Amino acid sequence: MSDATLNKTRLKAGRYEGLLNCAGTPPVVEAVHLDRVIARAETVEMAGHPGHHLLSLDLPAAVLCDGVQTVQLRSAEDGEILDRITVLAGEPLDEDIRAEVAFLRDELDLLKRAFRRHCTETDTD
């Protein structure tokens, strides 16, 4: 395993940017989606900060589709996962979220009824 760490600084307009810290030569970082390499990141060493590199990569448009998509940023040498990007989009997701919220509301109502029942049963006046 490499000693590299990657901290995301921002994701804007499909461009991922982060700070890669490692001793020595930085690893080649590749973006993997559905077990396929879709991009390679560019790294630039920060002037005056040995071991610190600015990393950036553009996410391909193919990643944007309905549902939940996960892109792993990993070291090409040893496969260590350095970061993950999760993209949520589309109508199927809306339906999933609405169903989940409805389920949570039902659970909350159930808990409220049970708590009220417990309070009335243990009332010691």
Contact 114, 122 (CB under 8 A): no
Contact 2, 32 (CB under 8 A): no
What global pTM score does this model have?
A: 0.70
CATH 2.60.40 fits 5-89, yes or no: yes
pLDDT tens per residue, range 47-104: 989 899 999 999 999 898 888 899 999 999 999 999 999 988 877 666 777 778 888 9
Give me the chain's average pLDDT, please. 89
Range list of β-strands (E), the chain: 5-12, 15-21, 29-33, 36-40, 42-45, 52-58, 67-75, 81-89
Rg of the chain, C-alpha, whole Å: 23
Q: Is the pLDDT of residue 43 over 70?
A: yes
Q: How many Cβ atoms from other residues are within 10 Å of residue 57's Cβ?
A: 22
Domain ranges, ordered by start, for the chain: 5-89, 90-125
pLDDT at site 94: 65
